[in-house]
Chains A and B, each alone.
Chain A
Amino acid sequence: MEALAITGKNESADADEQQYLTFMMSDEEYGVDILAVQEIRGWEESTLIPNAPDYIRGVINLRGTIVPIMDLRIRFGLSSVEYSPVTVVIILKIEREHGERVMGIVVDAVSDVYTISGSSTRKPPELTEDKNSGFIKGLVNVNEKMVILLDVNELLSISGSLENTGHIAD
């Protein structure tokens, strides 16, 4: 993950190409580092976690591991949609200090895989008002379309985000 941070900053280097898995939500295309993607699966019923923020749909059993599922639409303040059998869950995995953390995100549909170089990535405009801007690592143009690159580490660090939304929920 350190390598990720370096590529983000080092704009002149050429060898900093990275692959991103992109997915659609509400006509926008978002990208996550493909190395953080463990698998993609269909939506299945989850078990509620009491007193969890509304964007945490619950936990599922992923081959013996308890994995929380986050609805990214609700997380980003988009209008929520009914889940259907084709609703997709992307299972993300990050390395942390004390082992790894696995979490699923619910998105509308998986789109494509792009190879993106760090130099073509633009910083997001400063949107201090928006609580979600912390998740955005950068913006990039692919085939005349904007793709929003997400910082997976930020996205999955719920401890921080829970506090934030806890305030709002109160």
Chain B
Amino acid sequence: MSIDLSQFHQIFFEESFEGLDVMESQLLELQPQEVDAESVNTIFRAAHSIKGGAGTFGFMQVSEFTHVLETLLDEIRSGTRTMQRSYIDLFLQSVDCLRAMLSSIQAGSEPDMERAATLKGSFENILQGTSAADSAEQDLPSDTGNTTTADVTESGWRIIFNPSEDILQTGNEPFRMLRELQELVGADYLTVIPVTDNLPEFTSLTPENCYLSWILEIRSNVSRDDIASVFEWVADDCHIDYQPLCAAPLKNTHDDTPEIRTGAEQKSAAERENGIPPAEIDSGRTATLIPEKISEALEIAAAQKSKPSVSARTARSSEPSSIRVSIDKVDSLINMVGELVITQSMLGELGQDFDMSRLIRLQEGLTQLEQNTRELQESVMKIRMMPISFAFSRFPRLVRDLGSQLGKQVNLVMLGENTELDKTVMEKIGDPLVHLVRNSLDHGLETTEQRLASGKSAEGTITLNAYHQGGNIVIEVKDDGAGLNEERILHKARQKGLVPETQELSSEEIHQLIFLPGFSTADVVSDISGRGVGMDVVRRNIAELNGNIEVKSVRGKGSTFIIRLPLTLAILDGQLVKVKNETYIFPLVSIVESIQLQKRSLNHVTGSQYVMKLRDEYIPIIRLDEFFNLRSNDEEFENPMLVVVEGDNEKVGIVVDDLLGQQQVVIKSLEQNYQRVAGISGATILGDGTVALIIDVSDVGKNLEKSGKGQSRSEQAA
């Protein structure tokens, strides 16, 4: 086949990474004592498709490596070997290794084979360790091709079922047989691979002929006789080939007559074919399907010739960042657009010969248009929403690895995994969350001895919870550890000169200290945390998403970090303000209050810097016109307004000329065609088509500090 396979590479990588994720999560759930057959099967299936895919696309390093892994898995699955904890660890390492290999292949570089070779060695050691004991069993099924006496195999069968073309005319229905087979062996143990090579062109296709053949993989202890009974009626008309599954890799046998090999032949063949992956049948035209979908498989197989895109998944762009959208969301979007079109044509008709008597209908139409637009906007936003489980999925592994590294017993509880959140937010929240979880594990949870001593269960619990609250999404990272040690935090802060010796702080203020740059209470700097870079970065990352983080802690009971994020980054509620002739937008969430500026309440501090006493706080005042160099300093405001905003937990007063309305604005990037501008987070388009810039409140505050005029820190602390 001369199909350019590279067009499928992206899909292969995406699916392989998904497969690896599946393997990882299943491995983590596995308990060596009670191995769940279904989990092992899932892991096996994932490994198998990676191997098959890698072989098809010529990534031999991957397929060879996966092959050894698969062999061990197969033995475990068939029961010839029992699962051990060391195997799980080895498998997990292999998952990492495979992921690294695939990433480097994807990036176009040579994968690092050293690690793979080491792991492969370990696998081979395990496999050979019992090969003497297993060899008898291994050889046994390989003879079954010739004898019907040894008709029970441990691992199952691969059957090549190639019906004659006129099978349908004799009243036999392959579909029915496949269903019967599924009933016999159970849906989970049957894999059906349709082979469509013999399909003729659509024009020369005779609908009464059967052009398909199938490769059936049965992974269960079914005797050959039982299987044969399914095909009893058609045995004479069809070519049916039985191969025991344990040692024979699937060969490209669908179009020629496959021969059954004797044990010796098979062994050497297996060796020879180690490099050749199974299922190397042209992947463009076959599909591996789970058995529940046999009927679909038949349809797809039939449709493949004329419409190749049906089977090859809806074409995805080769852009590395893509999202999968459920068909429901797309359907509802199409509905909305339909309604919008109807409203538009209604309004168009109305406008053609309009007179004042039809004013009411026009108003109705406009209301409808508004509603349509809002619904459409909501549906479009939903497309970007993904369940937070994407961000959570990495934590079981992380907690498991870290827990064993630290010698702590940890139970990870994840709640609200289906809470949806904007894709961009999801990508950016991952790292801060990892940091918080590591922090909870390392600093939060006590060691087992300490826990027992303080009357707690030996196993610590970390809870990840996500839920919606108002227009926000809230993510909690909670541990039942020791809680924040306030005295120690305060002590450290005083040591580092972050807090004056004489000053007393409330618990809440002390908790806030851990977010200061360079702060760590860990006595020993560990691999995991304690270097003092971290919580401030976490807070900054979250602030970049227009979110905030707070911590609640009870001594001896544990602490909870609460992250609040806006649902989406694409739209925000804005307060429009006027400065000179320009319109700017403040994010409404950042505004604490807006007041008329009283000149007499302003105090001069160091040159041009003003502060204002607002109730019992001094807040620094920034003139936006000055900050943006819109006019000279001595030009006075006529009737200034003060917008008090809070960014990075610090209040700043910003002087503007006037407050205009409030409205929802769609955030557009300024950086895409220009570059980042200090104090500006983006731009938007107002109702009249002009561009207005959106103020980055925390950035304005930061620039105030940088310029050296800022007194904010000490003022705020005072």
Contact = CB atoms under 8 A, between A and B. Distances in A.
Contacts of B691: 46-47, 58-61, 66
What band does the interface of chain A fall in when counting residues whose beta carbon is under 8 Å from B? 20 to 34
B672 A101 contact: yes
A162 interface: yes
B627 interface: yes
Contacts of A47: 582, 683, 690-693
Nearest to A159: B675
Contact of B679 (A50, A67, A158, A159): A50
A103 interface: yes
B628 interface: yes
B678 A102 contact: no
Interface in A58-78: 58-61, 64-68
Contact of B668 (A45, A56, A66): A66
Contact of A49 (B627, B668, B674, B689): B674
Interface in A34-60: 45-52, 56, 58-60
B672 A50 contact: no
A99 interface: yes
B669 interface: yes
A51 B628 contact: yes
A66 B674 CA distance: 9
A99 B683 CA distance: 19
A170 to B, nearest CB: 13
B165 to A, nearest CB: 53
Nearest to B691: A47
Contacts of B630: 48, 50
30 contacts: A45-B690, A47-B582, A47-B683, A47-B692, A49-B677, A50-B627, A50-B628, A50-B629, A50-B630, A50-B679, A50-B693, A51-B629, A51-B678, A58-B691, A59-B691, A60-B691, A61-B689, A61-B691, A66-B668, A66-B672, A66-B673, A66-B674, A66-B685, A66-B691, A68-B674, A99-B672, A102-B673, A103-B673, A103-B674, A159-B675
A49 B672 contact: no
A59 B673 CA distance: 10
Nearest to B692: A47
Interface string A145-167: 00000000000001100100000
A57 B713 CA distance: 36
B685 A64 contact: yes
A68 B629 CA distance: 18
A49 to B, nearest CB: 6
Nearest to A162: B675
B302 interface: no
Contacts of B185: none
Most-contacted residue by chain B among A60, A66, A103 (CB, 10 A): A66
Nearest to B689: A61
Given A47-B693, A50-B629, A65 B677 contact: no
Given A46-B691, A59-B674, A103-B673, 6 more contacts: A47-B683, A59-B683, A66-B685, A68-B673, A101-B672, A101-B673
Interface residues of B, number: 23
Contacts of A101: 672-673
A48 B628 CA distance: 10
A16 B675 CA distance: 34
Nearest to A67: B673
B537 interface: no
Contacts of A103: 673-674
A163 B674 CA distance: 14
Contacts of B683: 47, 59, 66
A50 B692 contact: no
A21 B328 CA distance: 48
Interface string B676-709: 0111100101000111110000000000000000
Contacts of B628: 48, 50-51
Contacts of A58: 691
Nearest to A64: B685
A66 B675 CA distance: 12
A67 B691 CA distance: 10
A159 B676 CA distance: 10
Contacts of A66: 668-670, 672-674, 683, 685, 691
B689 to A, nearest CB: 6
B672 to A, nearest CB: 7
A158 B674 CA distance: 7
Interface in B608-633: 627-630
B693 A65 contact: no
A101 B673 CA distance: 5
Nearest to A104: B673
B661 to A, nearest CB: 18
A50 B681 CA distance: 12
Nearest to B580: A48
Most-contacted residue by chain B among A45, A48, A60, A158 (CB, 10 A): A48
A68 B676 CA distance: 12
Contacts of A64: 668, 685
Given A59-B670, A61-B689, A50 B675 contact: no
Contacts of A56: 674
A81 B668 CA distance: 31
9 nearest interchain CB pairs?
A50-B628, A47-B691, A68-B674, A66-B683, A61-B685, A66-B668, A59-B691, A61-B691, A102-B673
A67 B670 CA distance: 8
Nearest to A70: B674
A102 B671 CA distance: 11
Contacts of A50: 627-630, 677-680, 693
Nearest to A103: B673
Contacts of B677: 49-52
Contacts of B685: 61, 64, 66
A159 B673 CA distance: 11
A51 B675 CA distance: 12
A130 to B, nearest CB: 24
B195 to A, nearest CB: 43
A49 B694 CA distance: 11
A157 B217 CA distance: 58
Contacts of A158: 674-675
Interface string A105-122: 000000000000000000
Contacts of B693: 47, 49-50
B27 to A, nearest CB: 36
Given A51-B628, A67-B673, A101-B673, A61 B690 contact: yes
Contacts of B582: 47-48
Nearest to A93: B673
Interface in B323-342: none
